[in-house]
Amino acid sequence: MAGACARACAKRKAITVEPGKLTVDADRCIKCGKCVDSCRKGAMTGKNGYLLTFGGTFGSVVSPGRSATPIVFDKTTLFRVVDAAIDYFERYAEPKERLASTIKRRGWDEFQETVRGAFEAGEAARDGTANSAKNRL
């Protein structure tokens, strides 16, 4: 049924369907994949991945999760990014401090640079593995 994707995205309202045209507003899209799952015609496609957000809530202090990397598509990169976030926290957290507070105190850019570096290293390692596998064929 045409427009199933837009109905699946009713909360975010990221999809606009006009005759012969479908538009996804990248600023509204949170990459949840509901539109892909809803499309029986296969017009909406995508692949599974991990959308990592960093933040959290502690008592009345709310720090909405923020994405620090693009979507991660493999477990090697996933673990590199998570390890980098844990290392950052171990290195910079003050006693009893939560990760969101550490990031806020030191600045988002430094944290993002840390995990982004791990993401890029993971992507490079994955690409290297893929290339060496291709070379063996």
> In whole angstroms, how close is the CB of 21 to ligand SF4 at the nearest point?
15
> In whole angstroms, how close is the CB of 136 to ligand SF4 at the nearest point?
36
Q: Which is nearer to ligand SF4, 15 or 81 (CB)?
A: 15
CA torsion through residues 66, 70, 71, 74, sign: negative
Q: Which is nearer to ligand SF4, 33 or 70 (CB)?
A: 33
Contacts of 38 (CB under 8 A, 6+ apart): 4, 5, 7, 8, 44
Distance CA 17, CA 26 (A): 15
Q: Which is nearer to ligand SF4, 65 or 107 (CB)?
A: 65
- In the complex, the residues that contact ligand SF4 under the rule CB under 6 A are 8-9, 12, 14-15, 24, 29-35
